[in-house]
Structure 1
Amino acid sequence: MKTATISQKDLETWAGFLLDHSLGGITPADRVMIKGERICWPLMEVLERRVIESGATPDVLLVPPNNDRGRVWSSAMGRTGTPKQIAAVPEWHKSRYESMTKYVEILGAEDPTQYMGLTPEQLGNLAGADRRFGDIRLSKSWVITLFPTEGMAKTEGMDLDDYADFIVRASTADPMPLKSAEEQLAPLFDAGQSVTIVTHHPIDDRELVLALDITPSRGVMSFGLRNFPDGEVFTSPDASKTAG
C-alpha cells in the first residue's frame, strides 16, 4: 500500500499546533492519549516524543484496521458478537480513559472497507457500547485531526499525493488568522434572526429554499481548537421554525 510522504518539518509543525494551540500546551501533570491506526504513525511518533519532551506521560493507543475510530469494539465484534459479549467491556478500558487529561485522535484508515457493511443494528450496538467512553473523552481537552492515507484518498476520488498535499497544507497553516476572521463573523450570528439557503435540484433544476430561524442562537467560533484544521462559526437554529 502506498503511503503519504510528509516532511519532518511539516510533521513537527502539525504536532506543535495540535499540542500547543488546540490543547493549550502540555505540562508534566498531563497524561495524553494519542490514538490512531498504525498507518498514521509518522504523526503519532512526533506527538509521542513531544509529549515526553514536555515532561508529560503519553498513552499511545494503536487502533486495529477493522475498528472505526478506535471504538471499544471492532467490526468483528459488531458482526458476530452477542449482546452479552458486547456489554462485557473490561473495567480497565474505562480506567484508561479516565486517567488521561488530554486526548489527540488521528483519523486516517488503512482500509476503510474493513469496518464497512455493518447493519444499522450492528452499528447501533457498537455505538452503544462506546457511548460512555465518548462522554469521558468529551469531558477532557481534546482535538481530532485527519492523516492522509491511500484508503481515505480513494473514498474522496483523489490521488494520494494530491490528497496528502491538500491535508498537509491545511494542517500546517497558522490557525490564528481564522480567529481574526471569525471574530468578525460571530457577531452576525449573535445579532441575526434568520438564514436562508437557496440551491437547485441536481436533476430537474428546481429551486430549493431552506429557511432557518436563528433568533435564539449564538455564534460559536471554531479555529482549530477541537477539529484541526477547521475554520467555522457554528450555530443551532430553532428546529420548530425550520422550513424547506
Structure 2
Amino acid sequence: MTDDLTGRWADLLVDYCLRVAPGEKILIASELEARPLVEACYRAVVLRGADPIVRLDLPGLSEFYLQNATEAQLASIPPVALYEAQTIDGRIRISAESDTRSMSRIDPARQAIVDKARDPIRRAASRKRWVLTQYPTLAYANDAGMSLADYEAYVTSSMFLDRPDPVGAWQELGRRQAGLIAFMAGVKTIRIEAEGTDLTLSVAGRTWINSDGRRNMPSGEIFTGPIETSATGRLRCGFPVCRGGRELVGIALEFAEGRVVSARADEGEDYLLSMLDLDAGSRRLGELGLGLNPGIDRFTGSILYDEKIGGTVHLALGQSYPETGGINESTLHWDLIVDTRTGGRVTADGRVVMENGTWLVGSDG
C-alpha cells in the first residue's frame, strides 16, 4: 500500500475510530507484517499529543508457547498485560497474520485454558476505547482467492479510503443504519430463512447497536443480543467458517429453547463439538447481527470483513455484548454467517423486512 493511503488509514483509526486526545496512552498491537501501518499510527498518535505504546508479535512465538508451555503456564495471567489493559485509554489492534493456518496445529483444549485464564484481560480491555483492523497480507489475499494487489484494493474500498472523504462516508453509513435501528427497536420476534436455515428468536427489550466503524474498521452492521432462551429451529452456515487456523465447512445446528441440541459439519465436526462444549454459555447465542456494508460483497475467509457483507445475517455463539442487554457469558464468541442474498428473507413480527439481501425498511426502504 502507498504511504499516502497508509497515512489516511492511520488518521481514520486515530481520529474517527478512537478520537485520540492529548495526554492519552494509546496501545498499538500488531504483527511485523503491518509495520507500515503501525508506524503511521505511531506518528499520528504522537502528533495528537498522546503517548503511543507499541506491542509487536513475532511469527511463530504464540504457537510455540501454546505447544510447549506447561498447563500452569497456560493458566497464568500475565500481570503486566492486565495492568496495561486496565490503565491505557485506547487500543488499536491491527491483525496481520503471515500464516492463517498456524493455529490449526494447536490442541483446542490448550487454547481454551489460555482463553479462560486471560478473560480478565479481555474484559478490562473491552471497557476502554478500542478499534480492530486488518492489514492486507499475502496470507489473507490467498484465503480470499485474490492477488495481493486486488486484495489491497478490496480492503481500501471496504473502508471507504478510496473516497475523497472517508469520515463523511462512514457517517453517512451510520445514518442509514440508524434508520434500520429505529425500526428494529420495536421488533419482538425475528425469523431468519435461507437454504438450510429456519430460525426464530426473540429480541424483545434488547438494544440494537450501530456499528459504524468506530470499533471495527471496516464495519457496517447493526447487532443486538437475542433473548438467551429463545432461539428455536435450524441454522446452516452459507460460507465456510474459519477459526483457530481451521476451516469448517457445512456447519448445521439445531436449536431448542435457545440452546444448540445437535450439531454437525461436513468438515471440522470434531472441532465444532469441542467449541460447543467449551463452557456453559457456548451453546447459546450471544449476538444477532445484520451485515450492511455495500463495499463488502464477497466471501474472503476473514470474519472481520465477511460478517459485514451487505445482505447477510450472522449469529454468534457464546459471549453477549452487555451493551445490548445480553447476559450470556462464555469465553467463546464465534460468528456464523447465513447468506440471505439468494432465496433468503428476514421476517420481523410477521412482516417481511428483508428479501434476497435487500432491506425493505429502515436503511434501504
Q: Same fold (TM over 0.5)?
A: yes
SS in 1 for 2:114: helix
Match for residue 217 of structure 2? 228
> Which AA in structure 1 matches 2:114?
L
Q: Take 1:93 and 1:242, find their aligned partners in 2: how far apart are those partners?
A: 37
Among 45, 50, 72, the residue aligned to 1:56: 50
Q: Take 1:10 and 1:21, find their aligned partners in 2: how far apart are those partners?
A: 16
SS in 1 for 2:214: coil
Q: Tell me whether 1:112 sits opposite 2:100 in the alignment.
A: yes
User: Are 1:217 and 1:235, in contact at CA under 8 Å, matched by a contact in 2?
Assistant: yes
TM-score (norm 1): 0.86
Map Cα deviations across residues 201-243 of structure 1 (whole Å, 9 max, x no partner). Answer: 4xxxxxx321122222232111011111111111222232222
Q: Take 1:92 and 1:238, find their aligned partners in 2: how far apart are those partners?
A: 37
Q: Tell me whether 1:189 sits opposite 2:178 in the alignment.
A: no
User: Are 1:175 and 1:229, in contact at CA under 8 Å, matched by a contact in 2?
Assistant: no
Q: Take 2:208 and 2:15, find their aligned partners in 1: how far apart are those partners?
A: 24
Q: Give 1:57 shift.
A: 0.9
Q: In 2 relative to 1, CA 94–237 (structure 1 residues): closer, same or farther, beyond 3 Å?
A: closer
Larger strand share, 1 or 2: 2
Q: Give 1:23 shift.
A: 0.8
Match for residue 117 of structure 2? 129
Among 125, 134, 137, the residue aligned to 1:146: 134
My pick for the range that moved more, 175-184 or 84-93, is: 84-93
Among 202, 213, 218, the residue aligned to 2:207: 218
SS in 2 for 1:241: coil
SS in 2 for 1:182: helix
Among 98, 101, 107, the residue aligned to 2:86: 98
Percent identity at matched positions?
25
Q: Take 2:150 and 2:30, find their aligned partners in 1: how far apart are those partners?
A: 22
User: Are 2:77 and 2:118, in contact at CA under 8 Å, matched by a contact in 1?
Assistant: no
Q: Tell me whether 1:167 sits opposite 2:161 in the alignment.
A: no
Q: Tell me whether 1:46 sits opposite 2:53 in the alignment.
A: no
Higher relative contact order (CA 8 A, sep 6+): 1
Aligned residues: 226
Q: In 2 relative to 1, CA 212–53 (structure 1 residues): closer, same or farther, beyond 3 Å?
A: same
Q: Take 1:102 and 1:46, find their aligned partners in 2: how far apart are those partners?
A: 16
Q: In 2 relative to 1, CA 218–189 (structure 1 residues): closer, same or farther, beyond 3 Å?
A: farther
Q: Take 1:87 and 1:121, find their aligned partners in 2: how far apart are those partners?
A: 12
Aligned-CA RMSD value: 1.7
Q: Take 2:37 and 2:176, find their aligned partners in 1: how far apart are those partners?
A: 28
Q: Take 1:65 and 1:183, find their aligned partners in 2: how far apart are those partners?
A: 40
Map Cα deviations across residues 89-113 of structure 1 (whole Å, 9 max, x no partner). Answer: 4433333333321100001201223
Q: In 2 relative to 1, CA 83–243 (structure 1 residues): closer, same or farther, beyond 3 Å?
A: same
> Which AA in structure 1 matches 2:223?
F
Match for residue 35 of structure 1? 29
Map Cα deviations across residues 170-229 of structure 1 (whole Å, 9 max, x no partner). Answer: 22243111111011110111011222211124xxxxxx3211222222321110111111
Q: In 2 relative to 1, CA 183–89 (structure 1 residues): closer, same or farther, beyond 3 Å?
A: closer
Q: Tell me whether 1:157 sits opposite 2:145 in the alignment.
A: yes
Unaligned runs of at least 5 residues, structure 2: 234-365
> Which AA in structure 2 matches 1:37?
E
User: Are 2:74 and 2:110, in contact at CA under 8 Å, matched by a contact in 1?
Assistant: no
TM-score (norm 2): 0.59
Q: Tell me whether 1:11 sits opposite 2:10 in the alignment.
A: no
